[in-house]
Structure 1
């Protein structure tokens, strides 16, 4: 599914469960040695996805360990992103000559816990979600907003090395014509954006879909 949201320059791989046997590198095993079994399994499966996607660019398998914010540290010359949630694991990678940064996120299509929407959204976003829900209440718009902001952060952080709060970007969704369960979104940064190829980026644009009990978002900043 994630492949539907990114251009052809991006290689993707995804799994719905952890049924495949995965051999981790020692550096990776150490990271989850004290974790519960569920965490170890999803950690391994998402790295399987990443290694398979990297293999399409001829990148040999190697350990994928996290940086200071938990972000995956990719091989030289690669931009990428990983995500895992209940029922879905995925990775997307591209050559850094084609893509500056990218972010993907998947979430179960369930309501946010009580009180969370007020933390992760701005008043104008809540008004926007109310309008979208009136048009198609079957989409989990609150969770889609959360996912989009996760993708914004995953795209932002490798370019800046600093945090981006939920209230530092405002997201607007546009459903595709004739298909209300997929579309595009625009994230307008409310803080100075990163400079990419000599120009500041004040907007990140992405794609989304809602399918199979999931909401999935992706942003790809191309050169």
Structure 2
């Protein structure tokens, strides 16, 4: 895990005032509080390790801000229950686990996602890509289209996580279309998801490091 590259990339996306945590999801050395363990009481060992690594990464992010390392239970919808006044996001792959945390005075939502930087499986294209996404990908060389589709998948995951604390709404990939500009993106709503209206967008950034696409989305307080 190239921690410096990951940290620098995340800092470029989220700026200051954000705590960043990183852990190895394969490690068994991430203890859980009883309130957290209840969320994975019936899970297989691999899922428990991933969950524990995510909580450990989040606690490391709190520690980076000089805050006490909290208990982070899971809600019925499996989303993290952050301490009052705090907000964050957690992501993991087989090889890395990342978390960012900050305060609700600054942010309505934060979203973070990491995906292996490989082509998106053909069977997922119709699920993930909106018509606008397909139009944007079409001019690319054939060899690059699958990777761009995977990047769009990663961005939509991050944007979804950022909006969920605000809308409390579950929606599919077709709800958003992604506009890319260098290392920044806009995830544009294709329909109303109150309080978001069709045409509104969630902004963020992305980078590639350690064989992964990393995308982060932010919803600042207005």
TM-score by length of 2: 0.85
What residue in structure 1 maps to residue 175 of structure 2? 168
Q: How does 1:29-178 map to 2 (within 5 A)?
A: 29-131=37-139, 133-134=140-141, 137=144, 140-175=147-182
Cα distance change on mapping 1:88 and 1:128 into 2, 3 Å: same
Cα distance, 1:93 vs structure 2: 0.7
Asked if 1:188 is matched to 2:188, the reply is yes
Asked if 1:7 is matched to 2:15, the reply is yes
- State the alpha-carbon separation in 2 of the partners of residues 56 and 96 from structure 1: 17
Q: Work out the number of aligned pairs and report it.
A: 213
Q: Is the 8 A contact 1:83 1:90 kept in 2?
A: yes
**Cα deviation digits, residues 133-159 of structure 1 (max 9, x gap):** 439839821111111111111111110
User: Structure 1 stretch 48-57 or stretch 82-91: which is displaced more?
Assistant: 48-57
User: Structure 1 stretch 37-46 or stretch 136-145: which is displaced more?
Assistant: 136-145
Q: Is the 8 A contact 1:160 1:194 kept in 2?
A: yes
- 1:204 pairs, out of 202, 211, 214, with 202
- 2:214 pairs, out of 210, 213, 216, with 216
- State the alpha-carbon separation in 1 of the partners of residues 113 and 21 from structure 2: 13
**Structure with more helix by fraction:** 2
SS in 2 for 1:159: helix
**Cα deviation digits, residues 114-144 of structure 1 (max 9, x gap):** 321111111220121233x439839821111
**Cα deviation digits, residues 4-24 of structure 1 (max 9, x gap):** 421112111123443362211
What residue in structure 2 maps to residue 180 of structure 1? none
Structure 1: runs of 5 or more not aligned: 176-182
Cα distance, 1:68 vs structure 2: 3.0
Structure 2: runs of 5 or more not aligned: 1-5
